[in-house]
Structure 1
Amino acid sequence: MTTATRGNIFPVYLIADESPSMQGSRISNLNAGLRSLLDEMHKHPLEAAKIRFSIIGFADDACTELALCDLRDLHEVPTLSVRGAKTRYSAAFDATRERIQEDVVSIRKQGYGALRPAAFFLTDGEPTEATENWMTSLQRLTDSNWRAHPNILAFGIAEAATDESAETIRKIATLVDYAYVAAESHDTGGALTKFLTALTHTMVATAEGLAQGKAEVMTEQPEGYIRIKADLV
């Protein structure tokens, strides 16, 4: 096996809720935030060179809204839309595992090293399926025996930011420090904007760290979000 000589790539996945609860201003704000993310990454071409970005949307099922790509080559982000009738977390986790498996192989074929991916999970409501279903899929995605298992940062807004939903968000995050809920569950527009701002900053900071030989996710707590503490669940 040859050693990658072109440097390391950091794959980042946005796993976004597209279920009916996201209709109206929620999906509009998400789309606006994605456009801002692309604009901001274009201002940081050196950092963007070390990142590949993908969007997976989920509702009844999951689909790849944006295949893993170099943001420097992307001129327009896809417009996400509300669809389906359910919120199936299991579909999101299964699709993400499949995409990561294929993407890591592709990155290596291009002569790069693939770092452990980061997945940013965003939802505004509880899943409409049995807990055992999505937990089984989550465990497959985060299985430490699978080398490409991602770090998952989970974010709950609106109904998913309530005290009752905090445990669900905490279970999805791979570390306690990666679980967040919006402080003001009613301000979904502001929460979405701040979420995407934090995502952008994380991508830039992580890429800067890679340039300095630091292969780790440089996370920050989004403004207006609360980190879920272990003693709350």
Structure 2
Amino acid sequence: MGERMMDTEGQVIMPFYLLCDVSGSMVPDMRDLNNGISELHQALLSEPIINDLVMLSIITFNHTAQTVVPLAAPENITLPQLTASGGTEYGPALREFHQKFQADRARLKGEGKRVYRPCVYFLTDGEPNNKNYLKDFTSLITKEHNEAYPYVCAFGFRDATAATLQTVAYPNFGEQNKRGRYFIAKQSAKITELLTSMVGVLAQSILQSGHSAQAGAPVVAMPQPQAVSGMVGSFV
């Protein structure tokens, strides 16, 4: 199986999970976030050649978490209108992702698919109310405890800090040039422009990954540190 963790049946599927903070502090940004997610979806639909190779799921979180878009091919996705409320906790999002990916992986394998290692994009505008998420991260996400550990790329703005994002972007995926990445907003950046830039980078990452699978050599194309305008990116 190797470090890339790809199941060994038929057609390859590359799963991507977008974990979006929808706590109360995100209220002024929800229109931009909804528009950005719609643009991401349209970008994926614009390249039908990868429709059978990549799948996307969206999980929202505040003090709880829920899957609002189950993992599916772009053409089979219906986007909800996201709203914001509540506090900020990371643990529920990590637990929701882990539970859903385990079920998604079993379902896809049952359909004869080869499931590539998942990729998580984690988007937040603030610090969690406590550090309880670290226990969930260690037990559910890290490769020491999870054979199917995901690639992680974290994006933070407003009150999010680099120190916290580093704990979410897993530092060692066991492959050269596949360390975790995190992006933190520059103080001068406008949130509307940040979200637009982030969405463009996510679309590029997913599309490039899909094209690699279409070419027969699948690899997750993680965003480079300089990729997001208005943000400073770093490897963990």
Shift of residue 213 of structure 1? 2.8
Aligned to 1:39: 42
Q: Deviations over 1:149-200 (max 9, x none)?
A: 111100101221xxxx111011110135511112246511111111111111
Shift of residue 3 of structure 1? 4.9
Corresponding residue to 2:170 among 164, 168, 174: 174
Aligned to 2:228: 222
Q: Structure 2: which 5+ residue stretches go unaligned?
A: 1-6, 172-178
Q: How does 1:8-157 map to 2 (within 5 A)?
A: 8-24=12-28, 26-74=29-77, 76-84=78-86, 86-129=87-130, 131=131, 133-144=132-143, 145-157=145-157
Q: Which amino acid aligns with 1:82?
A: A
Cα distance in 2 between the residues matched to 1:16 and 1:229: 21
Shift of residue 212 of structure 1? 2.2
Cα distance in 2 between the residues matched to 1:185 and 1:137: 33
User: 2:25·2:85 contact (CA, 8 Å) conserved in 1?
Assistant: no
Cα distance in 2 between the residues matched to 1:215 and 1:71: 18
User: 1:141·1:150 contact (CA, 8 Å) conserved in 2?
Assistant: no
Cα distance in 1 between the residues matched to 2:124 and 2:162: 12
- Aligned residue pairs total 219
Corresponding residue to 1:4 among 5, 9, 23: 9
Q: Which amino acid aligns with 1:183?
A: K
Residues 223/48 of structure 1: CA separation in 2 closer, same or farther (3 Å cut): farther
Shift of residue 23 of structure 1? 0.4
Cα distance in 1 between the residues matched to 2:43 and 2:192: 19
Q: Structure 1: which 5+ residue stretches go unaligned?
A: none
Q: Which amino acid aligns with 2:72?
A: C
Give me the identity figure in percent: 26
Cα distance in 2 between the residues matched to 1:188 and 1:72: 29
Runs of 4+ with >4 A deviation: none
Cα distance in 2 between the residues matched to 1:179 and 1:3: 31
Q: 1:99 is paired with a residue of what secondary structure? A: helix
User: 2:16·2:57 contact (CA, 8 Å) conserved in 1?
Assistant: yes
TM-score by length of 1: 0.88
Shift of residue 215 of structure 1? 2.6
User: 1:52·1:68 contact (CA, 8 Å) conserved in 2?
Assistant: yes
Q: Which amino acid aligns with 2:158?
A: A
* RMSD, aligned α-carbons: 1.7
Cα distance in 1 between the residues matched to 2:187 and 2:195: 11
Quick check: which one's helix share is greater?
Answer: 1
